[in-house]
Structure formats: C-alpha cells, structure tokens
Amino acid sequence: MRRATIKDVAERAKVSLKTVSRVINNEPSVMQGTRARVLHAIAELDYEPDPSARNLRSGTPFVVGLVYDNPNPYHIIGVQNGVLAACKETGFGLQIHPVDATSPLLADELVEFVRRSRLAGLVLTAPMSERDDLVKALAARGVALVRIIAATEDPDDGLPCVYVDDRDAAYEITEHLIQLGHQRIGFLWGGPQHRSSGERYAGYEQALKDYGITLDKHLVVPGDYTFDDGFRGARRLLALREPPTAIFGSNDEIAAGVLAAAKSAGMNVPYDLSIAGFEDSPFSRQSWPPLTTAKQATEDIARHAARLLIAGLRHDAYEETSVAVHNQGFVPQLVVRGSTAPMRPSAPESKTPA
C-alpha cells in the first residue's frame, strides 16, 4: 500500500502544503483550529514525515550558527535570546560558537565550523561582522551569513545586515548632558576593534562641536567594554586638575565602573558627577542611582538578524507580511535616570573684608 504523502495530508485537511509543513515544524503561526485539522489528517492517514527528504527539499540543513567575541556577558545573552527566538519560530536549531576575533585563521575556522556542524548559515556579531576581509572571505566560500554592525545607514554592499545607529544615540546622550549645563564631559572608549565604540565617540564629538564646546583630549580615555576599564578611566579623569563634571561611558559596564570610582572617592552622584552609559543592560538598572543610558533593543536586533538569515535560506519560512526580508536599521533611545542631574553651580568665592 502506498505511503501517505504531505500532499495527501494537505488535501485531506483542505489546507496548503506550506500550512502542513508549519504544523509539522511546530511553528506558532498556525491557528489552533487549522492545526487540529492537520493533525487529525496526519493521524487518519498514518503520515510520517521523512527528515532526510525534508532536508533535501529545502536544500539546507535546519541549524544556524551564532558567532561572537565580546567581553560583555549581558550583551551576548541578549543576542543569544534574540537569535533563539527566531529559530524557535521556524523550527531551526542553534549552535553557538565563541571565537577569537583577532585570529588570522578565523575564516578557515568558521568555514570548518559550518561544514562540521552542517549549518545553514551564520549570524555574525561585532567585531567579526565589521571585518570586511572576513565577511568577503566567508561569502566567497559560499557561507550564508547576516551581520550585526554599527552604522548610521545601510552599507548597501550586497550583503545582508542589521545596522545600529550608535552615533545618533551617543549624540543624544551628550546633548542631554550639555543641556544640563555640563561643559567638561569625559568620554571613556570601548574596545577600538568594535566599530560601535568609534561611532559612539563620533556622536559625542559632534555634539560638543555643534554646541560650541572645544574638545579637550585630556577628557577622552581609551579602554575596553569592561567594568575595570571604566573604574580605571574614571580615576584617571577625576585626578585631573580640572576634572569633568560628567562622564559618558561607551557602555553600561564602563559606566558602572565610573560609578564605583566616584563613590570610592566620596562623590555624590549625580550632584558632584553625572554619569551616562549605553545599551540599557542590567548594569544600568541595578546600579544606584540607576544609570542614564541609550536603550539598545539587543534581543530585537538579533532576532531580526536571524529572521533575515532564515528568510534568505527558506523563502517559505515566513508569511510575506510577517518579516521584512531586507536590511533594517535600529536607533537606541535615550533613557534618563537618576545618574544625571543639572550641573551644580560653583560656590561663590569668599571675599576678605576690607
């Protein structure tokens, strides 16, 4: 007796082949009534999906990889959650692969990772996603990928990406501090290998310029996206003969380090020193006072990147109206909290009576 096919199930349930596929993949986009009708038809026909045929029909395996090298665990957890959400929507699996972004053999390592794990494609995070040589090498060797990058606009280079306008958000943070009356605003860099750090510095620099404030290089300190570099950078700035009245850390972990340094020096935040971070990580919400920051929708950004990758691999993965199969930009939004306040007026100089 002939085995039932997916077409038989679709005809019995009076639905499309795509709907039967979604029910088999346990995708959440199918209405309960339709799902029940398809499952009933599957039971009646004793239909058994063939996993190997499924892979052959799609032309791709049903697993994607997430590649990262970032010292900030909260950021990575957010990215993982976002990519995983997209995978669950479509029945894809996820392989997570930490790497050394500076490795000269990284392209070979990632090609081998894709081959060995039978991956359909990769979601690349910064700083790997911003290495043009790496991205071009992977694309040339047939690796499907989507990049998450810091950029003010779509790079329009033919390769799919999700871009985050850190520059505009950093401008808004700096402008907020200036409008509170601060003129001496320190800036603590994140890792220079991350384009986001340079974009955030560019926003800071442009805001100072637009408000007629001369950039003082003594107020700009290099470092990495870590609490320790925030603490050390703040100590260096606060030791200046003319210390800043506000400090902008390139991420919330840096800003939390600044807050610790200020408290260790006996300063009252925000009245002696205003502090701002970036990303709206748990560091910003759990600090006291909570940190003014730029809310970066990390999970949404990563989820869209994964959806973009999966939609490119399988054109039937989503209804046409449920996912935009094109590059998309995000702009982090200013969140004002208790770590920033108007600059305290200078105490008037005492006059010696005649």
Assign 182 to helix, strand or coil: coil
pLDDT above 90: residue 352: no
pLDDT at residue 318 is higher than 80: no
pTM (predicted TM-score): 0.76
The predicted-structure confidence for 187-244, as pLDDT tens digits, reads as follows 999 988 889 999 999 999 999 999 999 999 999 999 999 999 999 999 999 999 999 9
Domain co-membership, 203 together with 251? yes
Question: Is 349 inside a domain boundary?
Answer: no
CATH number, residue 240: 3.40.50.2300
Domain that holds residue 260: 166-295
- Taking alpha carbons only, the member of 63, 84, 89 closest to residue 298 is 84
Among 6, 125, 113, 4, CA closest to 58: 6
Let me know: does 83 contact 66? Beta carbons within 8 Å.
Answer: yes
Q: What is the 3-state secondary structure (H, E, C) of 225-285?
A: CCHHHHHHHHHHHHCCCCCCCEEEECCHHHHHHHHHHHHHCCCCCCCCCEEECCECCHHHH
Asked if residue 176 and residue 274 are part of one domain, the reply reads yes
pLDDT tens digits, 82-114:
999 988 887 788 989 898 888 889 999 999 999
**Do 15 and 38 meet the contact criterion of CB atoms below 8 Å apart?**
yes
pLDDT above 70 covers a percentage of the chain that reads 88
If asked whether residues 302 and 161 sit together in one domain, one would say yes
Q: Quick one: average pLDDT of 139-157?
A: 88
Lowest mean pLDDT across 35-49, 254-268, 272-286: 35-49
SS3 call for 220: strand
pLDDT for the residue numbered 9? 86
Residue 274: inside a domain, yes or no? yes
> Quick check: is 192 in a domain?
yes
